[in-house]
Amino acid sequence: MSYRSQVRGCLIGGAIGDALGNPVEFPSSHRIRERFGLYGVTDLLGEPALITDGRDRRPSCGAVMRSAPFGFDPRWTIERVFDVAVACAVQTHGHPSGYLAAGAFAAITYALVVDGRDLPEAVEVALDLVGRRPAHGEVTAALTAALALDRAVTPERVETLGGGWVAEEALAIGVYAALAHPDDVRRALRAAVNHSGDSDSTAAIAGHLLGAWHGEEALPADWVARVERRDAILAMGDALVREFSGG
């Protein structure tokens, strides 16, 4: 696994998570089961499978969703990554939980891609950084709950973390889904979408995390092939790699 693979994996992983959650963003978990069966949505829908958040929509959890790429630059320290992501988030999201969750997500990404940590360690590092800031309580509580929650995933268990409509909840659900199925991206993303909440946002975060952690080779090749704007997303990843690594 290479730096390039992790950067590309982070970006395209977020896209496939977003696309998987698109059809079930608003229905309750009960309605999802009624429509798709006992296990909910299990595959991408559409040819191509459309991405939604990040194009022409601005969700209330948008600051955290856009923050992963701050964590790609190996020339920065993790403290710098956290601070810059927070400063960017403040431009659109003034609530402390919104901008601190954005900083935490960027720091987690950096810990995975640059420092080579695993996801539980990366979350602990981010918790330390968040805990140094005023008004960190909601973000700290959400991430701590994600780490502690039973890994036997059910929609109801996911929903104890919230609906994902706000930043700290979306980040917590994404982290939880990735931790629950660390070696199975399909199962992790399914866990991140089949709940009563902001399914495309939570699965996008889970996809970003798993792609950054394991690289693009760990992502389901058939899902990558079907997602909208795949080539443009991967080309953006390559451009970022050239910018940040000098080659």
Q: What is the pLDDT of residues 53-82, one digit of tens each?
A: 655 445 588 899 999 999 999 999 999 999
Kindly list the structural domains of the chain, giving each domain's residue range(s) and its CATH number in brackets, ordered by start: 3-245 (1.10.4080.10)
Judged by DSSP in three states, 54 sits in: coil
Quick one: tokens of 163? 């609906």
Average confidence (pLDDT) over 224-236: 97
Q: Which residue has the tokens 């795949």?
A: 230
CB 66 within 8 Å of CB 80: no
Instruction: Report the predicted TM-score, pTM, of the whole model to 2 decimal places.
Output: 0.96
CB 168 within 8 Å of CB 133: no
Structure letter (DSSP) for residue 67? -
Q: What percent of the chain has pLDDT over 70?
A: 97
Give the model's pLDDT for residue 246: 78
Q: What is the pLDDT of residues 92-131, one digit of tens each?
A: 989 999 999 999 999 999 999 999 999 999 999 999 999 9
pLDDT reading at 148 higher than 70 = yes
pLDDT bracket for residue 41 (50, 70, 90): very high
Please give the mean pLDDT across all residues of the chain: 95
Residue 203 to residue 31: CA distance in whole angstroms: 18
CB 13 within 8 Å of CB 210: yes
Q: What is the pLDDT of residues 156-208, one digit of tens each?
A: 999 999 999 999 999 999 999 999 999 999 999 999 999 999 999 999 999 99
Dihedral sign computed on CA atoms, order 97, 100, 106, 108: negative
Q: List alpha helices for the chain, DSSP H.
A: 3-21, 29-36, 62-65, 78-90, 96-113, 119-130, 137-148, 155-159, 167-180, 185-193, 199-214, 221-226, 230-245
Give the model's pLDDT for residue 62: 87
Structure letter (DSSP) for residue 233? H
